[in-house]
Amino acid sequence: MKTVILEKKVVDPGDVSWEPVTRLCETVVYDHCHEEDKFEKIADADIVLTNKVIIDEEVFERCPKVKYVGVCATGYNVVDLSAARKHGVVVTNVPAYSTASVVQHTFALLLDIASKITVYDNSVKKGDWINSEDFCYYKEYPVELEGKTLGIYGFGNIGRGVAKAAQAFGMNVLVHTANPDKYLSYINKQLRFADANSLFAYSDIISFHCPLTDETKGLVCAENIAKMKDGVVIINVSRGPIVNEKDLANALKSGKAAAAGIDVIATEPMLPDNPLMDAPNVYITPHIAWASREARMRLINIVAGNIEAWMNGDPVNVVS
């Protein structure tokens, strides 16, 4: 049995270990994998571990030895599931390993926007405080989160975690989810459910925590931004294509959107002509919300557990 890890450094830049996986069977590890190299690298693999490398029908046809694909992430849209089923390949993912990290990052972006941390850090380091006549000075105006309405689009583990944190800050929470009846116990004086249009209309801040589907692709577009409050703040730590980046950039430039916190981009790594690069008041991080050391260690342990369960004939976290 042979395992091939295609993108070691995405999960382990040097501070964690793949030992829970490598102890299971012969393992070949690649730091990175370009799409054109994947066929050669996994030609004799039984088990393939991927994060962003696409595993499609062509892979299964050209690499017939592959019987298991482990996606080292929660989202598994990089694998053609129908092709996997056709070829008898088991596909697993890693659910709920980074919930705390993503919730934390969501609020890191929101608190930076609200309290102007980056704005003032940059200003102080340019000498503005040294040259100030008063003990404090204003470049932009901080705002309180307490009493604001946070709209949460999607109410999985992360959405629920964000709602819990928001209520601790004294925020009111509107939630849009496809299955509100599952979560009626969460309703209280601070939290209620709403349809998408109501969430857009009444939220001061909107944070997206939904999977990428045909329905959510391009969800943050000019048409829907027009339904939002003037001065809305938009947070996206879910999937890049949920946002129409040109439309969001235009909203930021016009002032319709006061600010945005973005951890994911439609094309990653980010391209130099991305319209958000020159948009004002946008805080961008490089798809790092998931990647605390604790979360990455947890991911590796779950990946190893998935493989071991499959080897023992009782697979878990199966998506196909």
pLDDT at 282: 98
**How far does Cα 260 stand from its chain's mean position?**
15
Taking the C-alpha atoms of residue 238 and residue 219, their distance in angstroms, rounded to an integer, is 12
Residues tagged active-site? 239, 268, 287
Q: What is the pTM of this model?
A: 0.94
Tell me the domains of the chain and their CATH numbers. 2-97+293-311 (3.40.50.720), 99-284 (3.40.50.720)
- For 272-308, the pLDDT digits (tens) are 999 999 999 999 999 999 999 999 999 999 999 999 9
Taking the C-alpha atoms of residue 251 and residue 207, their distance in angstroms, rounded to an integer, is 16
Q: What's the sign of the alpha-carbon dihedral 142, 145, 147, 150? A: positive
Average pLDDT, the chain: 98
CA angle 157, 158, 161 (to 5 degrees): 90
Return the percentage of the chain with pLDDT > 70, whole number. 100
Are 240 and 216 in contact by the 8 Å Cβ rule? The answer is no
Q: Which residues of the chain are under the pLDDT cut of 50?
A: none
| Residue the block writes with tokens 């049995």 | 1
pLDDT at 231: 99
Amino acid, single-letter form, for residue 177: T
Taking the C-alpha atoms of residue 314 and residue 306, their distance in angstroms, rounded to an integer, is 9
Question: Tokens for 301?
Answer: 């342990």
pLDDT at 42: 98
pLDDT at 141: 98
Taking the C-alpha atoms of residue 166 and residue 159, their distance in angstroms, rounded to an integer, is 10
Are 289 and 102 in contact by the 8 Å Cβ rule? The answer is yes
Amino acid, single-letter form, for residue 170: G
pLDDT at 158: 97
Q: Helix, strand or coil for residue 297? A: helix
Which of 59, 103, 35, 106 lies closest to 260 in space, CA to CA? 106
Strands (E), the chain: 2-5, 26-29, 47-50, 68-71, 90-92, 149-153, 172-176, 191-193, 205-208, 232-236, 257-262, 282-284
Using CB atoms within 10 Å of the CB of residue 259, give its burial: 0 to 12 exposed, 13 to 18 middle, 19+ buried. Answer: buried
